[in-house]
Amino acid sequence: MGEDFKAMLEKAESLGDLFKVVKKAVERVLGVRRAGVELILVNLPGEVEAVHEMGSNAIIMNKRYLRTLLGSSRSKLEVNSRLFSLLLREYLRSLGVLDEEEVRMLSLRVIREALGEDHPAYRMVVEEASEHRAIVSHDLELGDTETVKDFDTDNTQYIG
């Protein structure tokens, strides 16, 4: 079961590609899904990687964090794994999981069943648990925002 998710994650070239893997893994492991999620990039305080805007369909990601991660010397697998775990965490919140420990436990379950415990994404979630603190989106001042096009395209209709 995990091999196709590993290959999809390694081949992902965009945030939209990564999010497709997140959604498929969550649906396969937890049996739930949500369509129409938006990704908004914004310059947030340095310690904030991403948040889900409660009551909305938006995941807000820190532009500075993304730029730093993409410009780092990490391998594509490490970068994709980090973004996968980040998008997974916020997608779970968009599905109504608000308790931090429950988000962490479900993230570990999805990653373990879809990618395996030996995958970098699993280790990242284990390691970040000790350093992560919850940020509530209404505590943030959002400045210049940028909506990522073609992020959640699962319910896009094509006429042809």
41 strand-pairing partners:
61, 146
Cα of first residue to Cα of last residue in the chain, in angstroms, is: 33
Single out the residue of 16, 21, 151, 153 nearest to residue 81, CA to CA.
21
pTM of the predicted model as reported, rounded to 2 decimal places: 0.84
pLDDT tens, position by position, for the chain (160 residues)? Answer: 445 899 999 999 999 999 999 999 999 999 999 989 999 999 988 788 998 878 888 999 999 999 999 999 999 999 999 999 999 999 999 999 989 999 999 999 999 999 999 999 999 999 876 554 444 444 555 566 677 677 776 654 434 3
Give the DSSP H/E element, type plus range, for residue 145: strand 145-147
* Predicted local confidence at residue 46, as pLDDT: 78
23 CA to centre of own chain: 9
| pLDDT on residue 128 | 79
What is the predicted pLDDT for the residue at 53?
A: 79
pLDDT value of residue 141: 54
Residues 154, 7, 82, 124, CA torsion sign: positive
| Edge-to-edge order in the sheet of strand 58-62 | 50-52, 58-62, 38-42, 145-147
Give the model's pLDDT for residue 158.
39
Q: Output the pLDDT for position 52.
A: 87
